[in-house]
């Protein structure tokens, strides 16, 4: 017999309910006694009643999984009955206006598989406190508006934990009479508890230095497990580049004498910006050509930059409450995007970011998890570290930049820091600084923080050839386009141009003007508005929403001929790419309908010609060409189908690949041979460009009938001295039913079985194989001795990749893929609810499929919901998906 759970459903927290804390905490002193079977944490809190709060308000401290050993108030040991304690709150009544509270608790890092709070990874101690993990370490006002100055003492066995780190500056260390070591740290800057960090263990230190613009020397220290000592150069260089960039771009200088980064193998997210002591998923620190791809190198650089930039946007100025998360995340993502654009290619970076936005954020915004970038409520805050808060949030920041210009944006940033340094503030404060610094009315712009969903901008172009005018009529429509839904028009920056018959941009002369630039940003503010361009002859092709100047969906009828023309000529490289994607996407979706209707398939010659022109366009760099010739993914295309038919879509897209490969085989061979090289690997842009286009060509050659693709891939896999070319080759082989497939997979495994990050790739490539029998193969891999659900990278590498990047395999109509995911979620939610909640999100779009698949997915969601003591993280996602 099973006992029914009697726990009440977890209640949401609402943005409107924000109230300031009853007490402030000015100083915190922490003492950690590290142990193998439990760690004792003593905290000394200097409390001061908030003058704005009621004089009789009690102190309510947050805690989770803490064993309270004792409390002292102003030096006096408290007796049972002098405080109230529940699983999550410690309440003290009638406290004096200022007092010192000392607490002693025991925690169990050795049994903490949630990876939130204090936990162990490969025998080392580390912490993760954002969003609400500090309460798993000690009783505290665990909210970001309580900012305190911290000192920390760490005591432990010097053999096991030769390195002991915390935030700020090292004050000193001593050896105790019992042989244990004690290290003392002090962070001079006030900070919220989510930025606290502690690390202890056997770690190698890769050291460097940075001299700030005002001439201060900052010590840089990257800590990794000893076997990874040779993979730190790129991270260090990236950190130096980031520090330099923030000085030059925003005038922002680092503020401590020491900056530390620690790489750990078990980490829920990408990395964490703890003050002076970042903790990173090792995936975003370690990079060597043998083990990391070009894309990995670029992600390391981007994540190092992201966390570094948080020192000002997040740490010096932080969030008042978690609803304001996009204040620091949207802004910091925008900053890291600009940094990468400046260090690589701005055009390619923009394409890459928009691709991800449309693939992850747009669907999130049209499904059960849709929320504004500033959410109104949450059950588990960890579930709101979303593509919407991060990536749409960055798009909203980009719009300020577009509307105000780079200089105006900088003025706004300067005012923001001038007003709010060392404060915990809101998104409204940021908008006010941007507005006040520029005398620009941003009242309407608030709607970007309030309305969820991707707005639609429908455009109609009307030409009067006799008058030489073109009228563009813009209509804003509610997300999803349902009539009658409540929607207020947004302030939308619309960057655009008009392309003349010769492929050149025409001057944009609005009615009443005599001349104009060839590109403008229109400010759309009304539900419907029109702009009349004059002085035109012939029929110009409008190039709208250049660079995706707003996170909206453009509805604009364009012929295949116009799309092909834009792909060939648009001066905005983003729109060139975008036109190509629209053209190829239309063709694949059209063929999908034909597959479903059992009609014969044929790829139009105009499509093949347009594709060939861009493949061979040597005015474009290799990265740009590689992006231009990559077909939109099945997952992306599925979004524009009324009812998703994963099988027909896969058949249609595979047909297009095979057809292009066959018809343009000479071109693919030529491009491959011209760019593929066994020259020693380097990270020069030209080399990266060559690898990208060569590997794109290899991908198509792999779609040929016959053995040519497999042979080329197998040869490349053997010959390459770097992971970029090796992974690309293996990616081709795993999709083919050829003898080289098994051989290559086995050899790769044998070579890399002791490199966890490379082994993750091995799992991922197989998880993405669309050969028949995918669910069974993935299930078998989950029983592999190297697989474990408890390591987030490994869980994502197999299960996340299968559910998110193998649409046809995961949605196998037997339901085996769904069952497999649900089984994993049910096991994992008891151990690591954050990761389980991420994985279960793959069911969010169940209503977009046919009745059969809907029933199967819904069945799995209900099976999960019925689990006894289901974690609130998973419960929230499943509840939303099922519509309760």
Question: Measured from the CB atom, is 130 or 187 closer to Zn ion?
Answer: 130
> Considering beta carbons, is residue 268 or 832 the nearer one to ligand TRP?
268
For residue 318, the partner it binds in ligand TRP, Zn ion, none, with Cβ less than 5 to 8 A by kind, is none
Closest separation in Å from C-beta 131 to ligand TRP: 5
281 versus 842: smaller Cβ distance to Zn ion: 281
Contacts to ligand TRP from residues 104-143, by CB under 6 A: 128, 130-131
CA dihedral over 111, 113, 115, 116, signed as positive or negative: negative
Q: How many CA atoms lie within 13 A of 524 on its CB side?
A: 30
Please say which residue, 420 or 847, places its beta carbon nearer to Zn ion: 420
Closest residue by Cα to residue 61 from 23, 33, 98, 97:
23
Q: Are 63 and 137 in contact (CB under 8 A)?
A: no
- 698 binding partner (options Zn ion, ligand TRP, none; Cβ < 5 to 8 Å by kind): none
Cβ atoms 147, 318 nearer than 8 A: yes
Other CB atoms within 10 A of residue 197 CB = 25
Helix, strand, coil shares, percent, the chain, to 5: 45, 20, 35
Among 45, 126, 256, 269, binds ligand TRP (CB under 6 A): 269
Q: Which of 64, 153, 266, 273 is close enough to bind ligand TRP by CB under 6 A?
A: 273
Question: DSSP code of 116?
Answer: S
Binding to Zn ion, residues 312-371 (CB under 5 A): 329, 332
Instruction: From the list ligand TRP, Zn ion, none, pick the one residue 128 interacts with, judged by a Cβ distance below 5 to 8 Å according to partner type.
Output: ligand TRP
Give Cα 11 distance to the centre of its chain: 27
Stretch that binds ligand TRP, among 264-272, 290-298, 343-351, 396-404 (CB under 6 A): 264-272
Segment contacting ligand TRP by CB under 6 A, of 174-182, 269-277, 477-485, 555-563: 269-277
Backbone angles phi, psi at 510, to 5 degrees: -80, 155
Q: By C-beta, is 329 or 391 nearer to Zn ion?
A: 329
Chain position whose Cβ is nearest to ligand TRP? 269
The dihedral of CA 331, 332, 335, 336: what is its sign? negative
Span near ligand TRP by CB under 6 A; candidates 159-167, 263-271, 493-501, 518-526: 263-271
Nearer to ligand TRP, 792 or 809 (CB): 792
Asked, as a colleague might, if the bond just before 718 is cis with ω within 30 of 0, I would say: no
* Choices 267-275, 478-486, 504-512, 544-552 (CB under 6 A): range interacting with ligand TRP: 267-275
Rounded to whole angstroms, how far apart are CA atoms 68 and 64? 11
Tokens of 471: 């009228």
Question: CB 383 → ligand TRP: shortest distance, Å?
Answer: 9
- Least distance in angstroms from the C-beta of 387 to Zn ion: 13
String of contacts with ligand TRP for each residue 567-586, x by CB under 6 A: --------------------
Q: Is 414 exposed, middle or buried (0-12, 13-18, 19+ CB in 10 A)?
A: middle
> Based on the number of CB atoms within 10 Å of its own CB, is 612 exposed (0-12), middle (13-18) or buried (19 or more)?
middle
The size of the interface with ligand TRP (CB under 6 A), counted in residues, is 13
The residues annotated as belonging to the active site are 307
Q: Which is nearer to ligand TRP, 267 or 448 (CB)?
A: 267
Q: How far is the CB of 302 from Zn ion (least distance, A)?
A: 11
**Interacting partner of 293 out of Zn ion, ligand TRP, none (Cβ under 5 to 8 A depending on kind):** none
Q: Which is nearer to ligand TRP, 371 or 690 (CB)?
A: 371
Nearer to Zn ion by Cβ, of 236 and 303: the residue is 303
* Contact partner, 272, from ligand TRP, Zn ion, none, Cβ < 5-8 Å per class: ligand TRP
Please list every residue from 49 through 68 that binds ligand TRP, using CB under 6 A.
none
> Among residue numbers 361 through 400, which ones bind ligand TRP (CB under 6 A)?
382, 385
Kindly state the smallest distance separating residue 130's Cβ from ligand TRP, in Å. 5
> Which entry of Zn ion, ligand TRP, none binds 131, CB below 5 to 8 A by partner kind?
ligand TRP
Smaller CB distance to ligand TRP: residue 246 or 307?
307
Instruction: Give the DSSP letter of residue 12.
Output: P
Look up residue 861 and give its two tokens: 């969601």
Report the C-alpha gap between 57 and 66 in whole angstroms: 24
* Residues contacting residue 495 through CB under 8 Å, at least 6 positions apart: 402, 519, 520, 521, 545, 546, 547, 549
Distance CA 861, CA 821 (A): 10
| Interacting partner of 382 out of Zn ion, ligand TRP, none (Cβ under 5 to 8 A depending on kind) | ligand TRP
Q: Which two tokens stand for residue 85?
A: 């304690």
Residue 548 binds which one of Zn ion, ligand TRP, none, with CB within 5 to 8 A depending on kind?
none
First vs last Cα of the chain: how many Å apart?
A: 27
* Residue 130 contact partner, candidates ligand TRP, Zn ion, none, CB within 5 to 8 A by sort of partner: ligand TRP
d(CA 444, CA 879): 33
Least Å distance, CB 578 to Zn ion, is 27
Supply the minimum distance, in Å, between the C-beta of residue 418 and Zn ion. Answer: 23
Can you tell me which of 268, 426, 575, 871 binds ligand TRP, judged by CB under 6 A?
Answer: 268
How far is the C-alpha of 850 from the C-alpha of 808, rounded, in Å?
14
**Site map for Zn ion, 848-867, x if CB under 5 A?**
--------------------
Nearer to ligand TRP, 131 or 714 (CB): 131
Measure the CA–CA gap between 31 and 601, rounded to whole angstroms: 70
- The entry of Zn ion, ligand TRP, none near residue 437 (CB within 5 to 8 angstroms by kind) is none
Q: Is 462 exposed, middle or buried (0-12, 13-18, 19+ CB in 10 A)?
A: exposed
Residues 273-312, mask of contacts with Zn ion (x by CB under 5 A): ----------------------------------------
Residue 700 to residues 160, 492, 586: CA-CA distances in angstroms?
A: 52, 39, 20
Note whether 371 and 384 are within 8 A (CB).
Answer: yes
The option from ligand TRP, Zn ion, none interacting with 66 (CB < 5 to 8 A, set by class) reads: none
Residue in 103, 104, 108, 102 with CA at minimum distance from that of residue 39: 108
CA distance linking residue 340 with residue 335, whole number of Å:
9
Residues contacting residue 454 through CB under 8 Å, at least 6 positions apart: 362, 365, 366, 479, 551, 552, 553
What value, to the nearest 5°, has the Cα angle with vertex 790 and ends 784 and 791? 85
Q: Residue 253, preceding bond cis, omega within 30 degrees?
A: no
388 binds, among Zn ion, ligand TRP, none (CB under 5 to 8 A by kind): none
273/755 with CB nearer ligand TRP = 273
3-state SS, residue 247: helix
Two tokens, residue 486: 């409540």
The alpha carbon torsion through 246, 247, 248, 249 (nearest 10 deg) reads 40
Please report how close the Cβ of residue 130 comes to Zn ion at its closest, in angstroms.
9
Smallest distance, Å, CB 242 to ligand TRP? 13
> Does residue 272 interact with ligand TRP by CB under 6 A?
yes
In the stretch 603-632, what mask flags binding to ligand TRP with x, by CB under 6 A? ------------------------------
How far apart CA 68 and CA 36 sit, in angstroms, is 19
Helix (H) and strand (E) counts for the chain?
Answer: 29, 32
Does 876 interact with ligand TRP (rule: CB under 6 A)? no
Q: List the interface residues with ligand TRP, window 287-346 (CB under 6 A).
A: 306-307, 329
Considering the complex, state which of residue 128 and residue 476 has its C-beta at the smaller distance from ligand TRP. 128
Helices (H), 811-871: 816-828, 833-840, 851-865
CB of residue 381 to ligand TRP, shortest distance in Å: 8
Q: Which residues bind ligand TRP (CB under 6 A)?
A: 128, 130-131, 268-269, 271-273, 306-307, 329, 382, 385
Q: Which residues bind Zn ion (CB under 5 A)?
A: 329, 332
């Amino acid at each position: 017999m099973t006992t029914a759970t009697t726990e009440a459903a977890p209640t949401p927290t609402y943005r409107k309910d924000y109230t300031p804390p009853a007490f402030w905490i000015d100083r915190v002193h922490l003492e950690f006694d590290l142990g193998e079977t439990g760690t004792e944490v003593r905290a000394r809190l200097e409390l001061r009643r908030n003058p704005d709060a009621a004089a009789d308000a009690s102190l309510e401290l947050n805690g989770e999984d803490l064993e309270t050993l004792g409390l002292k108030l102003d030096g006096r040991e408290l007796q049972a009955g002098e405080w109230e304690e529940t699983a999550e709150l410690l309440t003290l009544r009638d406290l004096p206006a200022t007092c010192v509270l000392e607490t002693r608790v025991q925690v169990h890092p050795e049994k903490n598989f949630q990876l939130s709070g204090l936990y162990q990874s490969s025998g080392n101690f580390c912490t993760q406190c954002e969003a609400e993990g500090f309460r798993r370490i000690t009783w505290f006002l665990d909210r970001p508006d309580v900012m305190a100055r911290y000192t920390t003492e760490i005591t432990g066995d010097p053999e096991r934990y030769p390195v002991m780190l915390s935030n700020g500056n090292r004050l000193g260390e001593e050896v105790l009479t019992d042989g244990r070591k004690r290290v003392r740290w002090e962070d001079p800057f006030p900070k919220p508890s989510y930025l606290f960090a502690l690390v202890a263990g056997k770690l190698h230190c890769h050291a460097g230095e940075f001299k700030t613009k005002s001439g201060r020397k900052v010590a840089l220290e990257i800590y990794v497990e000893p076997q990874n000592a040779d993979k730190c150069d790129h991270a260090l260089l990236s950190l130096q580049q980031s520090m330099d960039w923030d000085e030059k771009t925003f005038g922002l200088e680092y503020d401590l004498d020491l900056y530390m980064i620690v790489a750990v193998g078990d980490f829920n997210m990408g990395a964490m910006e703890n003050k002076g002591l970042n903790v990173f998923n090792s995936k975003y620190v370690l990079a060597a050509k043998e083990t990391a791809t070009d894309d990995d190198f670029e992600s390391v650089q981007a994540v190092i930059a992201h966390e570094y930039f948080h020192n000002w946007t997040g740490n010096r100025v932080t969030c008042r409450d978690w609803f304001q998360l996009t204040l620091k995340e949207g802004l910091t993502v925008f900053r890291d995007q600009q940094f990468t654009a400046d260090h690589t290619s701005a055009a390619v970076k923009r394409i890459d970011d928009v691709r991800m936005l449309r693939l992850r954020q747009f669907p999130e915004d049209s499904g059960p998890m849709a929320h504004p970038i500033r959410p109104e409520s949450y059950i588990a805050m960890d579930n709101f570290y979303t593509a919407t808060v991060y990536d749409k949030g960055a798009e909203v920041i980009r719009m300020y930049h577009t509307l105000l210009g780079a200089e105006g944006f900088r003025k706004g940033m300067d005012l923001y820091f001038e007003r709010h340094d060392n404060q915990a503030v809101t998104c409204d404060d940021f908008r006010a600084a941007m507005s006040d610094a520029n005398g620009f009315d941003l009242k309407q712009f608030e709607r970007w923080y309030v309305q969820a969903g991707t707005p639609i901008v429908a455009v109609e172009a009307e030409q009067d050839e006799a008058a030489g005018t073109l009228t563009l009529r813009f209509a804003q429509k509610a997300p999803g386009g349902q009539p009658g839904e409540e929607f207020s028009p947004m302030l939308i920056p619309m960057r655009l141009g008009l392309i003349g018959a010769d492929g050149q941009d025409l001057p944009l002369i609005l009615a009443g003007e005599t001349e104009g630039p060839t590109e403008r940003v229109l400010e759309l503010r009304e539900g419907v508005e029109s702009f009349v361009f004059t002085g035109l002859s012939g029929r110009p092709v409008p190039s709208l929403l250049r660079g995706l100047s707003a996170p909206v969906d453009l509805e604009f009828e364009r012929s295949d001929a116009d799309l092909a023309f834009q792909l060939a000529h648009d001066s905005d490289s983003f729109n060139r790419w975008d036109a190509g994607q629209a053209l190829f996407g239309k063709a694949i979706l059209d063929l999908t309908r034909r597959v479903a209707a059992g009609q014969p398939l044929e790829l139009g010659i105009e499509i093949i010609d347009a594709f060939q022109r861009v493949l061979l366009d040597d005015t474009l760099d290799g990265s740009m060409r590689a992006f231009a010739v990559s077909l939109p993914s099945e997952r992306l295309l599925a979004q524009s189908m009324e009812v998703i038919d994963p099988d027909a879509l896969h058949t249609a897209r595979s047909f297009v690949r095979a057809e292009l490969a066959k018809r343009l085989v000479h071109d693919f061979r030529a491009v491959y041979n011209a760019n593929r090289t066994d020259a020693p690997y380097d990270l020069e842009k030209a080399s990266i460009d060559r690898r990208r286009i060569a590997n794109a060509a290899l991908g198509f050659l792999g779609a040929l009938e016959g053995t040519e693709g497999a042979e080329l891939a197998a040869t490349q896999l053997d010959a390459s001295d770097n992971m970029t070319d090796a992974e690309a080759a293996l990616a081709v082989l795993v999709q083919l039913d050829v003898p080289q497939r098994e051989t290559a997979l086995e050899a790769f495994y044998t070579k890399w079985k002791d490199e966890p990050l490379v082994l993750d790739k091995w799992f991922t490539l197989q998880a993405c194989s669309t050969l028949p029998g995918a669910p069974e193969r993935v299930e078998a891999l989950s029983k592999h001795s190297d697989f474990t659900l408890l390591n987030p990278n490994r869980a994502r590498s197999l299960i996340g990749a299968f559910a998110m990047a193998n649409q046809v395999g995961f949605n196998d109509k037997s339901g085996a893929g769904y069952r497999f995911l649900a089984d994993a979620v049910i096991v994992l939610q008891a151990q690591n609810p954050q990761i389980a909640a991420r994985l279960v999100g793959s069911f969010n779009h169940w209503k977009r499929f046919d009745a059969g698949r809907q029933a199967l997915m819904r069945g799995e969601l209900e099976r999960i919901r019925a689990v006894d003591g289901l974690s609130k993280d998973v419960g929230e996602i499943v509840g939303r998906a099922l519509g309760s």
